[in-house]
Amino acid sequence: MSFNSDILSEKIKTMEENEAVELLLSILSSSKNVENKLKVVDLLIPYDDHENLRFQDIKNIFLNDQHPQLRLKLIDLLTRCYKINGIDFLKEQYKNCKDGSVRKKLIDKVGQENLYDSITFFVDALNDSDIEVKREAITLLGKTDAGEALIPLINILHFRNNEIYNSLIDSIVKIGKKGNLQIINDFVNSEDLYIKREIPLILGKLKNKESENVLINFLNDKDSIIRKNSVKALDGIIELRNVKDLIALLTDQDIEVRKEVIRVLGNLGSKRAIKPLLELLKENDAKIRSVVKKALYKILEKNKSYETLYEVVNGRNINARREAIKLLGMLKDVDAINLLISIFKSKVASLRGSAYRSLLRILDNKVDKKIISGLSDKSWQIRMFCAKILGEIADPITINHLFSLIEDENGIVRKVTVNALVKFDDKKVINFAIDSLNSSNWKTRRTAVKLLLRTGSMESLNSLISCLNDEDIYVKSWSAMALGKLKDVDSIDPFIQLLKENDDKIRISGAKALGEIGNKDAIKPLIEALGDDNWDVRKEIENALNQIDPNWMNSL
């Protein structure tokens, strides 16, 4: 039978405290409705110190009703009213509580009220089947700093439960730091492999120098996980004089052990590790090289000495050279600029690409005179990459220098120069290109047209009108296709003249341009040109006519 808790609350306010408590306890004992009981417990809380709120009554209700929500509320009431007796009672009832949330709440309350006197209780709770209860017991034991809790905690490592692993290690370390190192050391030679594997990590977290020798001995263990964990633990503990023991593991058969050794050597920053690590840059395994590169960066950045890297860059092994080039970029070594520029002449594309990216990192968006000098180098690869770099930086002071390459003898250099110049947001580039249209050098004119096409400004396109009469077929056809994008052309006569040119490419470009412009005055001359001997030209003329007027055949 339900009742209105608000009415009951008002009613007990008019009653004597003794009567109110008796009434609430009576309802709590007799009611079969859990919701009613929960409301009554809430109403009982203000009377938590009243003599009529008898311990035995609350215990009986707890014992007789297994509902989890009610028991959770009663746990709060018991620990508020009867701290000592309530805690003792709850400890006794722990194993009889079937619901995991109730057991967890019970353990939590015992930890709040009776932590240091409940170590044995928490140890027993480590065997709980509920993972949350187990974790709570582990955490509370960590807070006790009790040495007697270490052995049962360490023994749980055998089960390798990931859900409680971090809590377990944290609690073991907390207790270990309170002078209980020997108990942990007793497990060093444990016959339980799963426990033995975790001991190095625990010793590492304790950061106790006394553990160094134990961990160094572990480096020779036959189990690779123990070796790896020991290496990890030595990070921050090992003396530099003992780095040789780690270096010896760089040839370990297990790749994960080797990676961990490399990482730790990088953190230690010992110069003694540089040479063996550089040797590992030759490895075919990209993952190993990546870890080595990061480790070497830490060591070399700290020591500010890069001569050994220069030797590797000039060596024979491609893998090592490539990684050394990348390292010079990571280290932002300005003294390596000339060396990296020289790599542009390499026959190996990956080396050239790495040198390019490293130079960009070193220059950090600033122009260096060595790059400008590279624009006039005998090697076309060096000229090309230096132009590419200046395009990425896009400093206006280099525009004049880049324009010196638009008549370069090498077509790739000219193409890269155009790509570089279009990245400049500077009118000076357009003006230079327009002036270059008058050059007697066909290479210069072609490059200038390409540059003006790429800039895409109205001023650039209009300047190409004069190129429709250029003697170079490419200058003429490229200009025609570009000008076709203009809708407000003063006269289409120059484009019509292109239909009469001897070169097929120019006639095709002229037809395309007229189609793009869309002026109906072009229909008649296009129809006249339909008799062209070249099929591709005729096809382009038909496309242009359809583009201008789909009904153009009515004009025949």
Fold of 206-290: Leucine-rich Repeat Variant (1.25.10)
- Residue-level pLDDT at 1: 45
The two domains 206-290 and 487-556 share their CATH topology (first three levels equal): yes
Output the CA torsion sign for 263, 267, 270, 274: positive
The pLDDT tens digits of the residues spanning 302-354 come to 988 899 999 999 999 999 999 999 999 999 999 999 999 999 999 999 999 99
The pLDDT tens digits of the residues spanning 507-543 come to 888 888 888 888 888 889 998 899 888 999 899 899 9
The pLDDT tens digits of the residues spanning 20-50 come to 989 999 999 888 889 999 999 999 888 877 6
Q: Is there a contact between 407 and 438 (Cβ–Cβ < 8 Å)?
A: no
Q: Among the CATH numbers 1.25.10.10, 3.90.1170.30, 1.10.760.10, 3.50.50.60, which is that of 487-556?
A: 1.25.10.10
All structural domains of the chain with their residue ranges: 206-290, 487-556
**Percent of all residues in the chain with a pLDDT value above 70, rounded to a whole number:** 96
- List CB contacts of 521: < 8 A, sequence separation 6 or more: 492
Over 283-342, what HEC string results? CCCHHHHHHHHHHHHHHHHHHCCCHHHHHHHCCCCHHHHHHHHHHHHHCCCHHHHHHHHH
The pLDDT tens digits of the residues spanning 146-204 come to 999 999 999 999 999 999 999 999 999 999 999 889 999 999 999 999 999 999 999 99
- Residue-level pLDDT at 304: 84
CB burial of 329-360 (b: ≥16 within 10 Å; e: otherwise) equals bbbebeebbebbbbbbbbeeeebbebbbebbe
Q: What is the pTM of this model?
A: 0.78
* Closest C-alpha to 518, from 485, 494, 553: 485
The pLDDT tens digits of the residues spanning 109-142 come to 999 999 999 999 999 999 999 999 999 999 999 9
**Is residue 412's pLDDT more than 80?**
yes
